[in-house]
Amino acid sequence: MDDNTLALALHDDAPSSIGRAFDELAMRAWPHVARALGYTVRVGPDCADDGREVLRAVWGAVGATPPAELAWVGERYDRATTWIVAYRGAEPVGVFGLLDMRVASVSLDYDRRTVPAGLDLACTRELARLAIVPSHRRGRGVVMVALLREMLHWSKQNHIKTLFAGSTPRLFRVYARYNATARLVDTLPAPPESEALSRYFAPLRARGGPGVHFTFEVDGARPWDVFTRFLAGKLYRRRSG
């Protein structure tokens, strides 16, 4: 029995009322847990400058910051972004962006690809612009869960059903482990890009290389589903070890 089979067994053996109660408790309780650990999260345009500060700190540290004179290229992504920023006290320490792909897509531009056929952009958002400052990597689990909780809450409140992302095959496998709806999607080559866009992405492409594109459903990211899959993985590794 692999960890996916274990996850299904754990999920199916529990009454649906348990899952719903777990989801509600997790969504309500986590902001209080995060605050007790010194973290808060803000969402919206008021924290855009803080989000960009985190991105500059993270990518600047590895020499992958786009040229300053091409900041205007990134303004299109800013217009598409709903900013989700985590703070430790008053210090921004993590950022997550939800992009309206009708305006712009970071991962598709990065990989020189087009929007997948059949993707309903009205109820889809792209997960992008994720960064956690190096000084808080030790506590990145808390920061990441806080960002994901707010992403899930905002998505549900705004009737977003599907999330799109571009990343490495390894990160896709992580998403697929915790969300059964994760699927790789096909994209087609985009028309030749402008010289400015090539220069904007050059340092990022030199650092990251090509990736894959995938979607998953917001409903598949329920805390109960994620928890049972996490627990199944732990049990499977213990039994296999």
Q: Where are the chain's structural domains?
A: 3-240
Of 89 and 224, the structure prediction assigns the larger pLDDT to: 89
Position 171 pLDDT exceeds 90: no
Burial of 76 (0-12, 13-18, 19+ CB in 10 A): middle
Q: What is the pLDDT of residue 33?
A: 86
Of 137 and 156, the structure prediction assigns the larger pLDDT to: 156
Q: What is the pLDDT of residue 241?
A: 57
Position 236 pLDDT exceeds 50: no
Q: What is the pLDDT of residue 237?
A: 53
Residue type, 197: L
CB neighbours of 237 closer than 8 A, spacing ≥ 6? 3
Q: Which range, 31-40, 119-128, 138-147, 170-179, has the best average confidence (pLDDT)?
A: 119-128
Span 78-101, average pLDDT: 96
Position 194 pLDDT exceeds 60: yes
Q: What is the pLDDT of residue 138?
A: 66
Q: What is the pLDDT of residue 28?
A: 85
Q: What is the pLDDT of residue 10?
A: 45
Helix spans in 3-63 (H)? 3-13, 16-36, 48-61
Maximal C-alpha separation, the chain: 57
Kind and range of the H or E element at 183? strand 183-184
Beta bridge partners of 215: 164, 183
CB 231 within 8 A of CB 10: yes
Q: What is the pLDDT of residue 226?
A: 66
In this structure, what token pair is assigned to residue 194?
């402008």
Share of the chain above pLDDT 70, in %: 85
Beta bridge partners of 124: 162
Q: What is the pLDDT of residue 142?
A: 83
| pTM to 2 decimal places | 0.85
Q: What is the pLDDT of residue 32?
A: 87
Of 16 and 76, the structure prediction assigns the larger pLDDT to: 76
| Cα gap 163→79, rounded to integer Å | 18
Q: What is the band of 1 on the pLDDT scale with cuts at 50, 70, 90? A: very low
In this structure, what token pair is assigned to residue 69?
């004179």
Position 124 pLDDT exceeds 90: yes
Q: What is the band of 122 on the pLDDT scale with cuts at 50, 70, 90? A: very high
CATH topology of domain 3-240: Aminopeptidase (3.40.630)
